[in-house]
Amino acid sequence: MSSTSKKHRDFVGEPMGDKGVTDLAGIGEVLGTRLKDRGFHCAYNVLGQFLVLNKNEELFMDWLKDTAGANAKQGRDCYNCLKDWCDSFL
């Protein structure tokens, strides 16, 4: 990864608080609504899933693909975002 997006930086630099799912890197409007339909309203919901899946990249990306129809890039962005957040805050 050459550089990170602004969204990534904004997410990773702060406590998560009760940010919405769309604040996650790689999660835009479309994926956001899909996730919300499935009950993932907040970023911490996704974080929970991320943790339950053992912070495993492949599993998490598969999960995101199944639940929200994310493509590989979106999945990776979201994964990296949560991973970096965990690295600095967990």
Partner 1 sequence: MEEIKNEVANLDDSKLRKELQEAKIPIGPIVKSTRSIFEKKLVEFKLKEKGLWKNPEEENSDVIKQKSCEGNSPVGSPKGEGNEVPPVGEFPASLTSTPKRTPSDSYYVVCIPVAECSKEDSDFVTPSKAVSHLFEDQKEALKLLKKNPGARFKVFRSQKEAESFAGLRENLSTPRSVEVGNNGESSSGTKPADSPNEFRSPKFQQYVALRKAIIGQDKDKFNELVWGNPRYLISTGDTPTILQEGSRYNAVHITSQKDLPDMCKLVLDTLQNPDFIQLMYPGENEEVVAQRISHMVDLYINVPDKGNFETPLHFACKFGNLKMVEFLLSYGVCEKNLKNRYGQTPAEVVCSRSKVSGSEMEDLKKKILELLEPSDEEEYYIPVFRSEDNTSPPHIGQPWSPASSDSQSGQSFDATRSPVDIDWTVKAFAGPMSPKEATSMYHKWTGRKKEFMDVQRSDDEKGLERIGRRLSQSAGVPWKEYWDFLDEFVNLASQEGLQKLEKYLSEKLEEAEDCPPDKIPQADEIVKNLEVEFDDMNIHDAITTSQSKCSNKGAQESDNLNVESKIFSNCGKNKVKEQSCYSVNDVILEKHRTEILRKTENSVTLDKSFDLDDLCDTFSHLRLSDSSSASESLINELASTIPGSGDHSLSKGISVKSNSSGSLSSTTENTSQSTEGSVFLSPEESVSSNPGTAESLILSPETKGVFIIGTSATRTDMDVYRAIQHMSISDDFPNVRKWKKQIESVADDLRSKWPTPLRKLRRSTSNPTLPCTPLVRDNRIFRFSPSQTRNLSLSPFRFNRPSSEPQPGSPQGLNMAAFPSTRLFFE
Q: Is residue 48 at the binding interface for partner 1, with CB under 8 A as the rule?
A: yes
Q: Is residue 88 at the binding interface for partner 1, with CB under 8 A as the rule?
A: yes
Minimum distance from residue 63 beta carbon to partner 1 (Å): 9
* Token pair belonging to 59: 């599993």
Q: How far is CA 42 from CA 14, 17, 47, 68, in A?
A: 15, 9, 9, 14
Between residues 48 and 69, which has the closer beta carbon with respect to partner 1?
48
Q: Is residue 73 at the binding interface for partner 1, with CB under 8 A as the rule?
A: no
Minimum distance from residue 64 beta carbon to partner 1 (Å): 12
**Residue closest to 2 by CA, chosen among 88, 64, 80:** 80
